[in-house]
Structure 1
Amino acid sequence: MNDGYVLIVDDDADIRNMVGIYLENEGLPYIKCEDAGKALEILDNHKIDLILLDIMMPGIDGMDACIQIREKSQIPIIFMSAKSQDIDKVQGLMVGADDYVVKPFNPIELIARVKAQLRRYKQYNENAVSKTMQYKELVLNGQTRQVWMKGEEIRLTPKEFSILELLMKNRGIVLTICQIYEQVWREEFAENDNTVLMHISNLREKIEGKGQEFQYIKTVWGAGYKI
């Protein structure tokens, strides 16, 4: 189901061991640690697909750890806590957790929640990957509408992004100015309209800089443009 580990973070060794046994029975690899500080280190050095996170721990508590994790990752987080008030659950979800299980919990139910979150996370990642296109050092993500050139994000206007996405979807195919205009603006193209030319000029400048021989959006004289 997953390629990485489930990370169990709890200062109670009995809980870590018990959850580990149930994960192992389901064929889910896991890593155990007793505090959030070590958990943050593990995240930097291992592929983690889901975190089971206690709240009340020495040092960094689970809430603060969740906030720090959310600054750089969207992996599923399930809180395991003895704090059972509704306000505690609401707070846990508001800081970024995906689920909240109250101790003592039924381990079978916990594993069912883990597997459900892993399925959602896997589907999310597959959708994100399917929306990603790359040509040489140019990368476009159609889901997040982000573009990177040589690893650096490029800020595009909505129309610039749509033009680039259209060209990348039709890589190797020459698209006329009329085709580009009607598919991006979704209205009939008028002769002598320079709108597409201006947007492509701006797009080229953002991708490759001024005065460069264009390696990405190429002009096919008398026909149109292609990537």
Structure 2
Amino acid sequence: MGEATHKILVVEDDRQIQSFIGYALEQDGFCSLSANSGHSAMSLLISEPIELLLLDLGLPDCDGMEIIKRVREWSDMPIIVVSARDQDREKAAALDAGADDYLTKPFSATELLARIRVAIRHLRRQSGEKPQAVYQVGELKIDMEKRLTYLQGEELHLTPMEYNLLALLFKNCGKVLTTQYIIREVWGVGYGSDTQALRALMAALRRKIEKNPAKPRYIVTEIGVGYRLVDE
């Protein structure tokens, strides 16, 4: 029950799904509140110390995308979208608007809770007084302070662009990053939207860190959306 201090708001107008999520959260030790409309969600977000938002996009009084945009005006709380909308452009739009993750219905309680734990780890890192310098996933490690990377204890020789891409993924470990977000962060806002350079850079990085680049262990492709560094 150690996670009970984390208060999660479930915004979902389907009572059955709302109950399913609420039960799963409480069984795992979280404290959950629920709202079935955008208006009631905003009221709770303003009045309660919510730490994580689970948000359905199809609300009766507004589009969930508007909730994401409004919350991002004043809060960095993790936002996980849970929606029946499975189009790649819908997922990318939600992530670009500020959502941290996206789960397509139907989903299992196990997957939902795993995504929540990843989001809470990010929350803890962000709230720490000293920024984390060393990150590790499996046998892949990065030292942000020294700008060094290691695989199985051996130093990797990455180009500056390869390092910047890997560092960005490590800082957002477990989160899906859209291609446009990665391009903006790695190349800058004036680069444009051409994804060919990103695909080439990703292929070069995978050749250095993956045993089998065709079946990556560390950096997985979220088809039509972007990439994610797995959180083991």
Q: State TM-score, norm by structure 1.
A: 0.55
| Structure 2 counterpart of 1:70, one-letter code | R
* Stretches of structure 1 lacking an aligned partner (at least 5 in a row): 131-227
| Structure 1 counterpart of 2:54, one-letter code | L
Query: Are 2:49 and 1:39 aligned?
Result: no
For the residues of structure 2 that align with 1:93 and 1:2, how far apart are their CA atoms?
Answer: 27
For the residues of structure 2 that align with 1:127 and 1:26, how far apart are their CA atoms?
Answer: 28
Once the two structures are aligned, what percentage of the paired residues are identical? 35
Judged with a 3 Å threshold, the aligned counterparts in structure 2 of structure 1 residues 37 and 67 are, in CA distance, closer, same or farther, namely same
Q: How does 1:13-162 map to 2 (within 5 A)?
A: 13-127=15-129
Secondary structure at 1:127's aligned position in 2? Answer: coil
RMSD of the alignment, in Å? 1.7
Q: How does 1:157-172 map to 2 (within 5 A)?
A: none
Deviating above 4 A after TM superposition, structure 1's stretches of 4 or more consecutive aligned residues are none
- Which residue in the other structure is 2:182 paired with? none
For the residues of structure 1 that align with 2:25 and 2:8, how far apart are their CA atoms?
Answer: 8
Secondary structure at 1:32's aligned position in 2? Answer: strand
Secondary structure at 1:41's aligned position in 2? Answer: helix
Query: 1:2–1:49: 8 Å Cα contact kept in structure 2?
Result: no
| Structure 2 counterpart of 1:107, one-letter code | A
Secondary structure at 2:9's aligned position in 1? Answer: strand
Query: 1:5–1:30: 8 Å Cα contact kept in structure 2?
Result: yes
| Structure 2 counterpart of 1:80, one-letter code | V
Secondary structure at 2:102's aligned position in 1? Answer: strand
* Stretches of structure 2 lacking an aligned partner (at least 5 in a row): 133-232
Structure with bigger gyration radius: 1
Give a deviation string over 1:127-155, Cα, whole Å, max 9, x none: 3799xxxxxxxxxxxxxxxxxxxxxxxxx
Give a deviation string over 1:142-197, Cα, whole Å, max 9, x none: xxxxxxxxxxxxxxxxxxxxxxxxxxxxxxxxxxxxxxxxxxxxxxxxxxxxxxxx
Secondary structure at 1:31's aligned position in 2? Answer: strand
